[in-house]
Structure 1
Amino acid sequence: MFTLAWPIVVTQLLQVAYNIADTIWLGRTAYPSAAVGALSLAFPLIFLFLSVGGGLTVAGSTLVAQYTGAGGDEDASKAASQTLAFVTVIAVVVGAVGYLSTDLLLGLLPADSETARLVIPLASDYMRVFFLGTPFLFGFFVFSALMRGYGNTRIPMAVMFVTVVLNVVLDPLFIFGWDVGPLDFPAMGVEGAAVATLLSRVVATAIGLFILFRLAVGPQLKIAYLRLERKWVKRIVNIGAPSALEQSTSALAMITLTAMVASFAPPVVAAYGLGNRLISLVFLPAMGLGRATNTMVGQNLGAGRGDRAERAVKLAATTGAVVMAGVAVVALVFAEPIVSVFISSTTADATATIENGVQYLRIRTVEFAFIGVLQVVLGAYRGAGNTRTALAFSLTALWLGRVPTVYLLTFTLGLGATGIWIGMALGNIVGAVAAVAWFTRGTWKDTVVETDDGSRAETA
């Protein structure tokens, strides 16, 4: 499990490094609160579109894992190829729709007057460039998911490392501009951060496709299998649609919360976005264990070893809770120096952003151990192909534990920004308790693939 998990954690750390690099550089522009706030507003809207492809890649990971566990390498190859072809079609559609609807989506946010004047135009610039690169972003999602299902998590980590380094180098060039010799990059501000990310993703997808088609280190993609077949598309949709819906509803919850946050002044908006990026960083150990659990459950159920699958889940959940509790202590003690790294300006807005960000981070540490448990149990459900159950508990965490609580505390009880921070912390606590209670029933162990004789793999 740890062999699978640590490269996933590092890969996700590098994924977050994309966002952290953007935040650090934009925090050093002339208007840091507006620039960082633009990312705060843009990301939930972008995530709404990306969730469609991200959810469908779960199907590819699950199918490859279970076929690999059952010894069906050719079926694993076909599942991988069909997933790539289908998600590519979806990516083109999603990118076009996102690009054309950017201003409409941002116009729906009930923004504070200063936020509308300073932040939303920057968010629009960022989103348009980002949507142009959607096919390349989805391409890397597919590559990582298929390799993870096969059990090879180190190569995606290496590819991500290369592209993060590239992004870190390109970010300041496009954000601030550079005119030295033959290199002439105009200063593009927030839009430049999106351009740097887009170029880095192009490189990541190119490397990933070369590996899947040419190297024998994962499921072997074949050109002959790229022609979409109704049977495979149906299987991908049946497994992936609940995960896509899960991620989409997560995005909708984020948009709803962002709409509430947008009614505040830029320092609160910026603190919310900055805090979320820091939470996504500490979220990584839990996510790594959850995705490793996905693979281990899938391969063990495919091999008919439900007993080992269950032991893996229990071990991962315990480890996740302990590790995340340790992360919580560090975040609680060092909240102020951590937040201050991202804002270098000494203006009144920047100072207010730091103060709000520190409070946000400290309050959310109470949920960290629950995040570890929830991600592992959701990973178990997905690995078994039981994505509808994972959807149900994600909805519980977001739409019962978080969104209504934020509204109640912030607006009904009048706690202001503090109500946002407290409400955000409650969602994963509610979701973890509910998901674990359901998990103990043991009904999650059925597989979604068939063995060579046409029967489903037996599970213990």
Structure 2
Amino acid sequence: MTQSNKLTFKKLFKYFIISVTGKETEFTTGSIRKAIFMLSIPMILEMLMESIFALVDIAYVSQVSVNAVATIGLTESVITLVYAIAIGLSMAATAVVARRIGEKDIKGARESAVQAILLGIGVSALVGGVGFFYAKEILALMGAEPDLIAEGYGYTQLLIGGNITILLLFLINAIFRGAGDASVAMWTLVLSNGLNIILDPIFIFGWGPVPEFGVMGAAIATNIGRGTAVLFQLAILFFGWSSIKIGFKDVIIRAQVMFNLIKVSMGGIAQFLIGTSSWVFLMRIMSEFGSEVLAGYTIAIRVMMFTLMPSWGMSNAAATLVGQNLGANQPERAEISVWKTGKYNAYFMLLVSLVYLFFAKEIIGLFNDAPSVVESGGLCLQIIAAGYIFYAYGMVVTQAFNGAGDTKTPTKINFVAFWLFQLPFAYLGAITFKLGAMGVFMAITLAEILLAVIAIVWFKKGYWKKVQV
């Protein structure tokens, strides 16, 4: 290694340590490349932890039964509707908090954070009640067979019933990211997923005085892990260990601030409801081909999340940079940040796509060796990976709109790509033209390519720079 390379490596390592310890919080001045690195590293690690959680869950549950894996697939296709609300509120929280931080309005950022949390609590209570009392009916609606419902309804009941841990974990981390405290968000997920990895086998298979809960044990471990992380997040906010400190006097409803958050979040919620409801319908189509094909699809999606989550990390960095730089009245710096982030994300996704194209079946086989599971899961990985470079830019540009508070534009793009194109194509390909699962996989890839192209074209028009939040 040359002296120059040693210096570069030493510099990158120094920046890495600064980024994960959260010592750098100024992103509206200085090097854009450095700002992307400082925000992206903890966000990528945060999302990697989330995807590791998903992989660990599926690895343990795969040892229970094929029905158990299919139960997770069906439940999570429904709970993505909860994620839609969580992410929609999170986008609003990140956009508004980032804008206030960019304006140096710490009081406004604090007030927005409190109203976001109160909104999250209210929504999760409503969703949790429905999920807890109607778990069997939800699985039946998704096309689950009676034996699957009998084995897996407890998982569905606990996961949707305890959705407050999912929603608040998303939401409070979004507040931290908007404030530029990406490292804090990362460490909360390290705690959450570390606990889940330890508790999963204990509750799934039983250990000592803990009985064997099967697939339901995965939900118990998830709720304990995420619930503990939420308590940790609240402690950070109330004790002032981040850029935003909340006091008990702040925990009151502020109608104007809450209305502003709701206004911004409605576009985000609609945007992700469109995207995630399309996944629900895709899962419903996949259920037509039997539990083993469904299990292969579920495993493939979990494996994909391992690489899509880091990309989401870079995309979230772009959202924070856009929000803070617009708040600091620097729209051109915001735009440059987006294109640079998109380029780095594309490099990463290209490498991942090559791995999936060549080793898809071997990867699926690590989780389940049933031939039909490996066949369908491997095919899913290969077809979807073919569009990964488009995903890279699509995710970054979409999050840039959201970071600016322009949540309506991605909503319209999602509507065209997912509802007007993806769902009809998937049904026609899989059912009408009898392509089977391949029809669904092709629809997913082509829809994401379409989304990326439309998003880039609209982003270049620059209307997002004029949005006020």
Q: TM-score, normalised by structure 2?
A: 0.90
- Structure 1: how far apart are the matches of 2:291 and 2:124? 32
Task: Tell me which residue corresponds to 2:26.
Answer: none
Q: Deviations over 1:400-429 (max 9, x none)?
A: 342111111111111112212222211110
- Structure 1: how far apart are the matches of 2:109 and 2:429? 49
Q: Which amino acid aligns with 1:337?
A: E
Task: Tell me which residue corresponds to 1:416.
Answer: 436
Match for residue 10 of structure 1 among 14, 25, 45: 45
Match for residue 145 of structure 2 among 116, 141, 153: 116
* Structure 1 portions without partners, runs of 5+: 345-349, 450-460
Q: For 1:172-251, what aligned pairs fall within 5 Å after superposition?
A: 172-179=201-208, 184-251=209-276
Call closer, same or farther: CA 1:77–1:190 in 2, change over 3 Å.
Answer: same
Answer yes or no: is 1:285 the counterpart of 2:310: yes
Task: Tell me which residue corresponds to 2:199.
Answer: 170
- Structure 2: how far apart are the matches of 1:285 and 1:91? 26
Secondary structure of the equivalent of 1:57?
Answer: helix
> Is the Cα contact below 8 Å between 2:50 and 2:309 reproduced in 1?
no
Task: Tell me which residue corresponds to 1:139.
Answer: 168
Q: Deviations over 1:128-187 (max 9, x none)?
A: 1112322222221122000000011112111211221211111111111123xxxx1111
Task: Tell me which residue corresponds to 2:359.
Answer: 334
Secondary structure of the equivalent of 1:168?
Answer: helix
Answer yes or no: is 1:28 the counterpart of 2:53: no
> Is the Cα contact below 8 Å between 1:53 and 1:90 reproduced in 2?
no
Task: Tell me which residue corresponds to 2:120.
Answer: 87
- Structure 2: how far apart are the matches of 1:47 and 1:360? 20
Task: Tell me which residue corresponds to 1:57.
Answer: 90
Match for residue 406 of structure 2 among 386, 392, 400: 386
- Structure 1: how far apart are the matches of 2:312 and 2:436? 30
Task: Tell me which residue corresponds to 1:154.
Answer: 183
* Percent of pairs with identical residues: 29
Q: Which amino acid aligns with 2:176?
A: M
The Cα of 1:275 is off from its aligned counterpart by: 1.1
- Higher mean C-alpha displacement, 215-224 vs 381-390: 215-224
Q: Which amino acid aligns with 1:434?
A: I
Task: Tell me which residue corresponds to 2:10.
Answer: none
Q: Deviations over 1:36-81 (max 9, x none)?
A: 1111111011111332233112211111100000111111111111
* Structure 2 portions without partners, runs of 5+: 1-35
Task: Tell me which residue corresponds to 2:101.
Answer: 68
Secondary structure of the equivalent of 1:444?
Answer: helix
- Structure 2: how far apart are the matches of 1:285 and 1:20? 14
The Cα of 1:379 is off from its aligned counterpart by: 1.1
Task: Tell me which residue corresponds to 1:347.
Answer: none
Answer yes or no: is 1:427 the counterpart of 2:447: yes
Call closer, same or farther: CA 1:382–1:61 in 2, change over 3 Å.
Answer: same
Answer yes or no: is 1:48 the counterpart of 2:77: no
- Structure 1: how far apart are the matches of 2:304 and 2:415? 19
- Structure 2: how far apart are the matches of 1:447 and 1:222? 31
- Higher mean C-alpha displacement, 435-444 vs 131-140: 131-140
- Structure 2: how far apart are the matches of 1:70 and 1:150? 11
Secondary structure of the equivalent of 1:240?
Answer: helix
The Cα of 1:246 is off from its aligned counterpart by: 1.4
Call closer, same or farther: CA 1:161–1:390 in 2, change over 3 Å.
Answer: same
> Is the Cα contact below 8 Å between 2:112 and 2:258 reproduced in 1?
no
Answer yes or no: is 1:306 the counterpart of 2:339: no
Q: Which amino acid aligns with 2:343?
A: T
> Is the Cα contact below 8 Å between 2:136 and 2:153 reproduced in 1?
yes
> Is the Cα contact below 8 Å between 1:163 and 1:203 reproduced in 2?
yes
> Is the Cα contact below 8 Å between 2:82 and 2:163 reproduced in 1?
no
- Structure 2: how far apart are the matches of 1:83 and 1:92? 15
- Structure 1: how far apart are the matches of 2:126 and 2:187? 29
- Structure 1: how far apart are the matches of 2:130 and 2:291? 28
Whose helix proportion is higher, 1 or 2? 2
Match for residue 397 of structure 1 among 414, 417, 428: 417
- Structure 2: how far apart are the matches of 1:270 and 1:329? 23
- Structure 2: how far apart are the matches of 1:367 and 1:123? 33
Task: Tell me which residue corresponds to 2:426.
Answer: 406
The Cα of 1:440 is off from its aligned counterpart by: 1.2
Match for residue 126 of structure 1 among 155, 167, 178: 155
Q: Which amino acid aligns with 1:412?
A: T
Q: TM-score, normalised by structure 1?
A: 0.91
Q: For 1:245-284, what aligned pairs fall within 5 Å after superposition?
A: 245-284=270-309
Between the two proteins, the alignment pairs up a number of residues equal to: 434
- Structure 1: how far apart are the matches of 2:150 and 2:418? 28
- Structure 1: how far apart are the matches of 2:69 and 2:88? 27
Q: CA RMSD in A?
A: 1.4
> Is the Cα contact below 8 Å between 1:41 and 1:120 reproduced in 2?
no
Secondary structure of the equivalent of 2:465?
Answer: coil
Q: Deviations over 1:432-457 (max 9, x none)?
A: 011111111111102424xxxxxxxx
Call closer, same or farther: CA 1:173–1:387 in 2, change over 3 Å.
Answer: same
- Structure 1: how far apart are the matches of 2:421 and 2:152? 28
> Is the Cα contact below 8 Å between 2:97 and 2:178 reproduced in 1?
yes
- Structure 1: how far apart are the matches of 2:179 and 2:152? 38
Q: Which amino acid aligns with 2:40?
A: A
- Structure 2: how far apart are the matches of 1:256 and 1:367? 21
> Is the Cα contact below 8 Å between 1:406 and 1:422 reproduced in 2?
yes
> Is the Cα contact below 8 Å between 1:48 and 1:252 reproduced in 2?
yes
- Structure 1: how far apart are the matches of 2:450 and 2:373? 29
Q: Deviations over 1:353-395 (max 9, x none)?
A: 0111111111111111111101111111011110001211222
Secondary structure of the equivalent of 1:17?
Answer: helix
